[in-house]
Amino acid sequence: MRRYLFFVIFSIVILSGMSVYQNGKFNDGKLHLVFCSVGQGDAIFIKTPTGSKILIDGGPDDSVLNCLSRHMYFFDRKIDAVIMTHPHADHLTGLISVVRRYNLMFYDIENLKTGGVESKILQDNLAIKNLSANSLKKGDRLSNQSNFSLSILWPSEEYVKKGLNFSSPEATDLDSNGLALVQMVVFGNFKVLLTSDTDYLTEEEVGKETGFVDILQVPHHGSKTGISQKFLEEVGPKIAIISVGRNNKYGHPAKETLDLLKKNNVKVLRTDINGDIEIISDGKTWNVVN
């Protein structure tokens, strides 16, 4: 009996300690933005200053669940918004596991149906939970609280309508990558540009209206078609982050991209080298934790 009582008390103490620790860690009134290490793919977790949780893409497998467990309460099963930037397997496959495990709202750009097998499985799992995809386009703002906002910069409604019907005579020359969501995260004076798998053509539309940012997600895992000198001059990032898998078959990040970033004195962090990359900001200052 005494041993059982000791075990119960010990368990309560441990759980209470974990709760206090996690409360201090996760509810500090700051913005936490995590580029998850999920291999060759994208998954970005955001905890807003008021504690809302946003996941952008899910990577190529269920590795995203490990990232979420590292950056959320161990008992928390709610994500306020899940955003899929475009229906390619290295961005959406992990979302299948996320939909199964968490309660959430789901967002994309109306193109979930244009994906492959993984896209169909994701649709089926959304249906099981009676969820549907809420569409996003340029001009939408997903959150605006405590001096924090997440805004959609691309694609415009015009491009979405033309681009998703690839067989139409009015279709654009943009593929699913070119139509991927581009998002701006702002908290006070701190700005992050999230570019997914977009390329030069998208840069021409986005760069001229973005202004300088602190953090740039390098488009398309550091592909050589991702960024240009003009784009870097327009956004002027202090740090560039590349979500990429070790020894991937695509040769990402490309030497040309790394050379261009070095030429512009932009510090580079990579998930294949640095693991999870977490940026914490109070709206005035920010620092990198990895």
Interval 120-174: pLDDT, tens: 999 999 999 999 889 999 999 987 677 899 999 999 888 777 765 544 444 455 6
- The CATH number for 134's domain is 3.60.15.10
pLDDT at 173: 54
Of 98, 88, 104, give the one whose Cα is nearest residue 65: 98
| Owning domain of residue 108 | 29-289
Query: pLDDT at residue 287 above 90?
Result: yes
The pTM is what? 0.89
The pLDDT of 164-189, averaged and rounded, is 74
Q: Which tens digit of pLDDT belongs to each residue from 13-23?
A: 444 444 444 44
Is the separation of the CB atoms in 244 and 275 below 8 Å? no
Any domain includes 16: no
Any domain includes 215: yes
In sequence order, what are the beta bridge partners of 199?
none
Here the tokens at position 265 are 């004195």
When pLDDT is cut at 50, 70 and 90, the band that residue 2 belongs to is low
List, in order, residues 6 or more apart from 179 with CB less than 8 Å away: 86, 109, 111, 155, 159, 160, 163, 164
List, in order, residues 6 or more apart from 52 with CB less than 8 Å away: 80, 81, 143, 145
What's the number of domains the chain is made of?
1
CA–CA distance, 280 with 273 (Å, rounded to integer): 20
With H, G, I as helix, E, B as strand and everything else as coil, classify residue 126: helix
pLDDT at 48: 96
List, in order, residues 6 or more apart from 71 with CB less than 8 Å away: 26, 32, 34, 45, 47, 276, 278
When pLDDT is cut at 50, 70 and 90, the band that residue 179 belongs to is confident
Any domain includes 1: no
Any domain includes 5: no
CA–CA distance, 137 with 27 (Å, rounded to integer): 30
Any domain includes 13: no
The pLDDT of 97-101, averaged and rounded, is 97
pLDDT at 3: 58
Any domain includes 235: yes
Any domain includes 281: yes
Signed CA dihedral, 87, 88, 91, 92: sign only: positive
Any domain includes 2: no
Here the tokens at position 250 are 């695509």
Q: Which tens digit of pLDDT belongs to each residue from 226-269?
A: 899 999 999 999 999 999 999 999 999 999 999 999 999 999 99
